[in-house]
Amino acid sequence: MAKNNKLKSRRHDPASRRNIELTNENKDLVREHFNSARINIDYSIIKDGDNGKVFVVTSGLQSEGKTFCSLNLARAFGNIQENKVIVVDCDLHAPKLHRYLNISNKPGLTDFLSNKNSFPESCVYNQKENFYVMTSGTRVPNSTVFLSGKLFRSFLRMLRKQFDYIIIDTPPVLHVTDACSFAAHTDGVVIVTRSGQSTKPALKQTIETLEKAQATILGAILNDVDFSKQGYGYGYGYSYGYGDDRGKNSSS
């Protein structure tokens, strides 16, 4: 796919930027932890021929860090120069990926799925970090319809043919059914939980909901851990554990 539709060509009003300001020290730690998550996710998905790997990033509730983790995973996968990576904002209810990247939301996913724009027009290449971004696109009233049918499944098939890694950012599974409706058509789901915010009952319900939808749970990311509080000796972190380790405290 052409790389001429670059991120900077979609730069938006700087005032709308909602990026997280991290210190350099934190940035290094974030990078390090998401690189470990990348390796674990990559190993937990078995490659199907030449097709790329598709996984969903989700959580039970809002603001647990789905978009933050989706974006940082895209960075981690894009860090390997030969990887062709795309992150797609499928949270049509509260899309945020464009804000993190300070770009316009349109055209994007809904514009492509409704044939208003071509695929190259609907995504942009982040040259600096080597990944493509598909924002959610023009707001639509019937968002669930876009994500639940044949059209979306054939979109996923198309992405598998063009990319090595496809990262799908989604709305919370305990609020809307969107992620559940297509999770089974992907290689699996990474569940995000946020330290000090997510509760065990909500996490349990999230896992049950995804299992009912026949999703493969690849693992979980414990986001926003304050290691200094817990005597780990450094101040910022993530944990990633396999589905089999559910309930255990995975290493960071």
Smaller CB separation from ligand ADP, 84 or 93: 93
- Give the residue, chosen from 53, 66, 98, 160, that forms a contact with ligand ADP under the rule CB under 6 A: 66
Residue 197 in the binding site for ligand ADP (CB under 6 A): no
* Binding stretches for Mg ion (CB under 5 A): 66-67, 91, 96
**Can you give the chain as a three-state secondary structure string?**
CCCCCEHHHHECCHHHCCCCCCCHHHHHHHHHHHHHHHHHHHHHCCCCCCCCEEEEEECCCCCCCHHHHHHHHHHHHHCCCCCCEEEEECCCCCCCHHHHHCECCCCCHHHHHCCCCCHHHHCEEECCCCEEEECCCCCCCCHHHHHHCHHHHHHHHHHHHHCCEEEEECCCCCCCCHHHHHHCCCCCEEEEEECCCCCHHHHHHHHHHHHHCCCCEEEEEEEEECCCCCCCCCCCEEEEEEHHHCCCCCCC
Residue 198 in the binding site for ligand ADP (CB under 6 A): no
- Give the residue, chosen from 29, 41, 42, 65, that forms a contact with ligand ADP under the rule CB under 6 A: 65
Smaller CB separation from Mg ion, 67 or 110: 67
Residue 89 CB, nearest approach to ligand ADP (Å): 10
Residues 18-47 that bind ligand ADP (CB under 6 A): 20
- Give the residue, chosen from 9, 16, 23, 62, that forms a contact with ligand ADP under the rule CB under 6 A: 62
Smaller CB separation from Mg ion, 51 or 138: 138
Contact set with ligand ADP (CB under 6 A): 20, 59, 62-68, 96, 223-224
